[in-house]
Chains A and B, each alone.
Chain A
Amino acid sequence: MKKSMLSKIQMAGFGASMADIALLLLVFFMVTTSTEPPKGAEVELPTAVTQGAEQDTLYITISKNENIFFDGRTIQLSELQDELLLRGLEKDRSISITADKSLPYESIQKVLNVLQESDFLNIVFMSEPKAEK
């Protein structure tokens, strides 16, 4: 019986280069991917001319029914200050406020007052980027 040509070809020598490429792609994906922030609640974001926000931030989410979530956990406004006090060494980190666009401004102001009191002064108002005209 005649042996096919394919069976004669040695499938060797590809392993190392394949592993190299895979590792390269792996490093690329690890660097570029962003993990989903701990939101706690789904909110409808306002649109604005935005800038890319950094990944290393603390997250405050204010839902439509004015529930406050800090790093994914629901808390009362009075507890927020205590939570921030515990993170006293992280004052240089910015705080991302993800708030529902239909909320009255006063509920945002209350949170901003607590942040100012706790000396967390770098704020990012999370928003959807405005579509280019």
Chain B
Amino acid sequence: MNPILIKKRKRKDIKSLNREIKQFDSTSIGDMAFLLLIFFIVTGSFMVRQGLFLSLPSKSAGSVHVSEDRIIEIIPNENSYTCDDEVLSSEQLAKKLNIKKGLTDDTVVLIRMQARIRYERMIDTLSIVKESGIKKISVKMIEEL
């Protein structure tokens, strides 16, 4: 055999012996992942926070002229609603809003909140209005009736 070839083969053999085996132990990563997983399962909650969205008008916003027939004025009372001088229940108010919305597309609801009326009543009113699909809502505080 050619001595050069023998030398080359010998060098190759030495190289292959010196080659490092590239590997790492993934056990610790697995352990860490499981630990964190347990932490998130225990501390996390799937409860999505819920709420009613409302955009306030900017302080620099000017006045808007709206024709009277497009405005629905609602005054929430402790157990009822006053709308167009009628005292209504929640169901009656929802029905009335649906009828009004059918008549004019661009209906504006004006909620007049009395200062001492519970906050819950405003949320009830907002909820009914939003359910009816009316987008333009104005909330104003008034003195006691």
Closest-CB distance, B30 to chain A (whole angstroms) = 3
Q: Is B54 a contact partner of A123 (Cβ separation < 8 A)?
A: yes
Q: Is A130 a contact partner of B46 (Cβ separation < 8 A)?
A: no
Q: Is A34 a contact partner of B47 (Cβ separation < 8 A)?
A: yes
Segment at the B interface, from A2-10, A78-86, A97-105: A97-105
- Could you say which residues of chain A place their CB within 8 Å of the CB of B16? none
- Per-residue CB contact flags for chain A residues 103-117 toward chain B (1 = under 8 Å, else 0) read 111111100100111
Bound form: Cα–Cα A125–B55 in Å: 11
**A72 contacts B by Cβ under 8 Å:** no
- Could you say which residues of chain A place their CB within 8 Å of the CB of B26? 15-16, 19
- Could you say which residues of chain A place their CB within 8 Å of the CB of B141? 105-106, 109
**A38 contacts B by Cβ under 8 Å:** no
Q: Is A33 a contact partner of B119 (Cβ separation < 8 A)?
A: no
**B6 contacts A by Cβ under 8 Å:** no
Q: Is A50 a contact partner of B122 (Cβ separation < 8 A)?
A: no
Residues of B32-77 contacting chain A, CB below 8 A? 33-34, 36-37, 40-41, 43-59
**B145 contacts A by Cβ under 8 Å:** no
Residues of A1-29 contacting chain B, CB below 8 A? 15-16, 18-19, 22-23, 25-26, 29
Q: Is B49 a contact partner of A33 (Cβ separation < 8 A)?
A: no
- Per-residue CB contact flags for chain A residues 15-57 toward chain B (1 = under 8 Å, else 0) read 1101100110110011011101100000000111111110100
Interface residues of B (CB under 8 A from A): 26-27, 29-30, 33-34, 36-37, 40-41, 43-59, 113-124, 126-127, 130-131, 141
Instruction: Give the top 6 A-B pairs by smallest Cβ distance, nearest first.
Output: A33-B44, A19-B30, A48-B127, A50-B50, A29-B40, A101-B120
